Amino acid sequence: MNEGEHVTIHSLCRFGLMTKETTFVLKSAQDGNDFKDIDSKIYEAAMASSKDHANRLLLEIKKRFQINDVFLPALHDLKLIARSSLSSLVKSQVYFVYLYHADEIVAHVTDKLGDIYIAKIGDPRIDRDDIKGILENYLKATGANASAKAIRNWVGRYLSIMREVNLLIRKKASEYMLYFLGIQPETWAIFTIAAHFAGYPIEQGIFYKAFQIRPAFVSKLLEGMRVVKSVTYKINGENNETSRVTLETSTSSLKQWLEEYT
């Protein structure tokens, strides 16, 4: 979250993940940070109910993505991702990382679910009330007030997002299975390649936190990444707690890697 900004429980309820809208905006954006007149395009594309609604959507997207953080792919890379032939699931997972970074409530609840996933790794089932309890405890700890309706709406929106990005699988009416191994190979490649060329350890990337990647299941996660084009991964270290993931790649940049999906 940017310094000086405050996220309320209503932020997620109003906007959600906005995969379709974000892809549209990033495709429409000009070179640099120019988002001029895109709110009008959002309205003309029937993605908003009014021009004011379109403007609020654009402001929220800019808040999430028009940032400068070394531990996230830059805006110019995001535009390439939006314009690529990568699947909607991969794009939604990429956008989720930026939502996690921007929304402190989403980050807190997701972190707590990561703890539950590790504690119950053999059977990581949760229900709606588990998420509701985490949210209510957070609101109480921070002194924030929210109506029962607002809490219910937030939980519903969060569940929908987590299912969209394949981190939560619905089992019954209100029962779900946590699935932090659901990160797609292409999503993993985007963030790890970005880390590689930015010169920081993969484990320091914001995506590592957003997807709750823990030492206990890194080896299993990497088994599914063998299909990533032009990149190979290995684990360096003697044990789970000190091991580090490194990569070798024949590509010279994230931009060049993404060219395979144009």
Tokens of 253: 């940049």
> Given 17, 46, 81, which residue is the final one in a domain?
81
pTM above 0.85, yes or no: yes
DSSP string, 175-187: EEEE-GGG--HHH
Residue 9: what residue type?
Answer: I
CATH code, domain carrying 166: 1.10.10
Q: Average per-residue pLDDT in the chain?
A: 92
Write out the residue range of the structural domain in which residue 202 sits: 185-261
Q: What pLDDT is recorded for position 240?
A: 61
Q: What does the alpha-carbon distance between residue 99 and residue 1 come to, in Å, rounded to a whole number? A: 9
Q: What pLDDT is recorded for position 135?
A: 97
Residues 190 and 176 in one domain: no
Q: What pLDDT is recorded for position 6?
A: 53
Tokens of 132: 């509701």
Q: What pLDDT is recorded for position 2?
A: 45
- Per-residue pLDDT reduced to its tens digit, 41-52: 999 999 999 999
> Given 147, 180, 213, which residue is the final one in a domain?
180
Which of these ranges, 87-101, 217-231, 232-246, has the smallest mean pLDDT?
232-246
Looking at the structure of the chain, the number of domains it has is 3
Confidence of residue 35 (pLDDT cuts 50, 70, 90): confident
Residues 174 and 210 in one domain: no
Residue 162: what residue type?
Answer: M
Q: Provide the 10 A C-beta neighbour count for residue 238.
A: 7
Residues 77 and 17 in one domain: yes
- The answer to whether position 219 is within a domain reads yes
- Rounded (10°) CA dihedral 227, 230, 236, 239: -20
Residues 123 and 160 in one domain: yes
Taking 70 as the threshold, does the pLDDT of residue 165 lie above it? yes
Mean pLDDT along residues 26-31: 86
Residue 85: what residue type?
Answer: S
Taking 50 as the threshold, does the pLDDT of residue 4 lie above it? no
Q: What does the alpha-carbon distance between residue 203 and residue 213 come to, in Å, rounded to a whole number? A: 9
> Given 180, 212, 236, which residue is the final one in a domain?
180
Residues 210 and 169 in one domain: no
- The answer to whether position 206 is within a domain reads yes
Confidence of residue 174 (pLDDT cuts 50, 70, 90): confident
Percentage of residues of the chain with pLDDT beyond 70: 95
Say if residues 23 and 91 touch (Cβ distance below 8 Å). yes
